[in-house]
Amino acid sequence: MPKIIENAKEKILEVAKEELKNHSYDDLSIREIAKKSGLGVGTIYNYYPNKVSLVAALMLSEWTSSISLFNEKLEGISSLSNGLEEIHSLISSFWLSNRVFLQSAEVKEYSSFQKKGHMMIISQIKEMIISVYRRVGKRIEELELTLLSHLLLDSALDQDFGIEDILVVTNKLSN
- What is the pLDDT, as a whole number, of residue 13? 93
Q: Per the confidence metrics, is the pTM higher than 0.85? A: no
Res 109: pLDDT: 57
pLDDT at residue number 22: 85
Q: Which regions of the chain are under pLDDT 50?
A: 1
Tens-digit pLDDT profile for residues 16-49: 988 888 888 888 899 999 999 999 999 999 999 9
- Cβ-based burial of 41 (10 A; exposed 0-12, middle 13-18, buried ≥19): middle
Q: According to DSSP H, which parts of 48-162 are helical?
A: 51-73, 80-102, 105-108, 111-135, 142-158
Predicted pLDDT at 150: 93
Whether residue 94 contacts residue 100, with contact meaning beta carbons closer than 8 Å, is answered with no
Residue 1's pLDDT is 44
Give the whole-angstrom CA distance, residue 146 versus residue 110.
Answer: 25
Scanning 76-110, the segments in alpha helix (DSSP H) are 80-102, 105-108
